[in-house]
Amino acid sequence: MRYLDKHTAFEKRLRQRAREHRRLMHARWHAPVVPLEHAFQRGWEKTYVLRDDIRRRPDFRVFPAVLEVVNRRLYCRNREFKARCGQPLLLRPRVIPVAKWLQLGWPDSHQRLFAYGHWKLEEEAWRPEFMRRYILGFRLVRTWWLEEEVRPFMVTHQQVDLPEVRSRIAEISAFMETHHGWALHDHLRGHRQWSRRFDTPRPELRSGADNDAQMEDAHT
């Protein structure tokens, strides 16, 4: 086998393994979900609920409609709701984007609870503070009618385990990692390493070195 034919055959094999890996991951992700015979607890869940005295207000119907849109659920393994770094995980109402706000078409009784601005996305609590993204929209600023509730998070369903698919995925992953297959496959698809995206081309490096040498000769 010639040199180029050998590399062409290896590249074809890389593409085949990558396509098979993608199909297997899709099958594993979309495996059927079945109910468990005995539910078990895994961590805790924090969410918003209405206060008890809200139900006696004449405008009671406003608050459940707003809560259905802005409510969020926060999950944590410990009841203190702290991240691994020790930072507390805070529950904040969901920010409504402008497009969805126009689709809702709420009356003034609903809109009076919100404020328009550029808000930080609270759904990304796992991100560091300096990496948080911002969104333009409406945020619930009057939260006096809400209270936080912490309850056990129960697992009632589970995906069906596919041992043949899982073992084949492990084989393909081991092959790709041993032969640097993922990087080579990305290179075949036209992707470039992010760390070398802004590298200076070699001719420019040589021209820069020649200019430095000429400057040193001029000074001497």
Comparing CA positions, the residue from 215, 219, 93, 101 lying closest to residue 146 is 93
Query: Residue 215: its pLDDT value, please?
Result: 43
Per-residue pLDDT tens over the stretch 11-52: 888 899 999 999 999 999 999 999 999 999 999 999 999 999
**Strand residue runs (E) in the chain:** 33-50, 73-76, 96-97, 114-120, 134-140, 146-159
Comparing CA positions, the residue from 106, 133, 101 lying closest to residue 116 is 101
The structural domains of the chain, with segments of one domain joined by +, span 3-31+175-219, 35-158
Q: Please state whether the predicted TM-score (pTM) of the whole model is above 0.75.
A: no
